[in-house]
Amino acid sequence: ETGVTQTPRHLVMGMTNKKSLKCEQHLGHNAMYWYKQSAKKPLELMFVYSLEERVENNSVPSRFSPECPNSSHLFLHLHTLQPEDSALYLCASSAASGQYNSPLHFGNGTRLTVT
Amino acid sequence: AQKITQTQPGMFVQEKEAVTLDCTYDTSDPSYGLFWYKQPSSGEMIFLIYQGSYDQQNATEGRYSLNFQKARKSANLVISASQLGDSAMYFCAMTGGNTGGFKTIFGAGTRLFVKA
């Protein structure tokens, strides 16, 4: 496989469930990101990991918990979510850590619905 | 604070014609990068083109070109010879050097419809 792969593509969960989103990049990149895309709102940066260290936590509620075990894998653990958390969650990676000229490479996203 | 503004919620273009998607930005950082991404209905965001704040010439990538006007803080995307497959959401984005290059902000997007 090449690029950035996200699983699952679709997820429906109740507010009391615990689930995890998975992201894997096969590009040899050093930085990985979680973005949230809600209807009628710009993409919101949630978390950034550079060389497996979290460098950005954008005031995200604690019901979202990221994990980056190595530079190729990124997880987003979800628990006790709210209906307003329903959105498309996009994972991305970039080649160089902290370089403003490094484009993001995105996965296909996970469409999350909280019931 | 950094900001990206896309004022066109939707645009229509005839197949084979050129179209310009507007983007203005605001930053006090002298070093920054500007990007355009395409998001088809499948959901994946696809990187199209990059322009650095110090680049003297406008960036081009195939049918895509970026009309960079630094003094006006605009970075419009020009798509030449539109194709039906160009129908998608288009996002302008910026990464500032003073945020360590980690924080890319996005505009609200423009939905492009290409008519046959």
Q: Contact B104/A45, CB-based, under 8 Å?
A: yes
Q: Per residue in B57-93, pLDDT tens?
A: 999 999 999 999 999 999 999 999 999 999 999 999 9
Token representation of residue B59: 């960036």
Q: Return the structure tokens found at B52.
A: 């650095």
Q: Can you say whether the dihedral through the CA atoms of A98, B2, B35, B110 is positive or negative?
A: positive
**Residue B6 touches chain A, beta carbons under 8 Å:** no
Q: SS3 helix, strand, coil % of chain A, rounded to 5?
A: 5, 55, 40
Query: Do B95 and A55 make contact, defined as CB atoms within 8 angstroms?
Result: no
pLDDT at residue number B97: 65
Interface of A with B (CB under 8 A): 31, 41-43, 45, 48, 50, 55-56, 88, 90, 92, 96-109, 111
* Residue among A12, A90, A95 nearest A50 (CA): A95
Residue B42 has pLDDT above 90, yes or no: no
- The per-residue b/e assignment along B19-53, b for 16 or more CB within 10 angstroms, e otherwise, is bebbbbbebeeeebbbbbbbbeeebbbebbbbbeb
Given a cut of 80, whether residue B31 has pLDDT beyond it is yes
Contact check, Cβ <8 Å, B101/A99? yes
* A82 in Cβ contact with A114 (< 8 Å): yes
The residue of B45, B48, B50, B99 whose CB has the most chain A CBs within 10 angstroms, and thus the best one to mutate to test that interface, is: B45
Residue by residue, what is the 3-state secondary structure of B87-100? CEEEEEEEEEHHHC
Residues in chain A where the model's pLDDT stays below 70: 1-2, 97
CB contact under 8 Å between B106 and A42, yes or no, is yes
For residue B23, pLDDT over 70 is answered with yes
Q: Residue B104 pairs with which residues in a beta bridge?
A: B95
